Amino acid sequence: MTLIATWFGCGGAPAARGTWGSLAALAMAFAAARWLNWPAWAFGAAGALLVIPGVYAAGEFERRLGREDPPQVVVDEVAGQWIAIAGAASLNWQSWLAAFVLFRF
């Protein structure tokens, strides 16, 4: 559960944990679009589907840590970033960058 909650350790970054989670999501999405030919809607679906195990993993991580809303949990950033990318995936790289920037800031 820790791997999902922290998105394979991105949540362990010393600073800007959410940004690192979003960058990891962006990299994974780019790879899926480039090499697996995922259509734009697939990113929205993947983000929505990640919410279910993400909420469970985040809850387990919270219980184990004994702290509410620990900053190490970035799976929500990943799901949100994938949903944001769904609107830009069929466009150019500038659209991907805009989706990242608008989602993060």
User: pLDDT digits over 56-95, tens only?
Assistant: 999 999 999 999 999 999 999 999 999 999 988 777 889 9
Distance CA 66, CA 47 (A): 27
Of 10 and 89, the structure prediction assigns the larger pLDDT to 10
Residue % of the chain over a pLDDT of 90: 91
Distance CA 66, CA 41 (A): 37
Q: What does the domain layout of the chain look like in residue ranges?
A: 38-105
Distance CA 83, CA 99 (A): 9
User: pLDDT digits over 28-37, tens only?
Assistant: 999 999 999 9
Element (H, E) at 22: helix 17-35
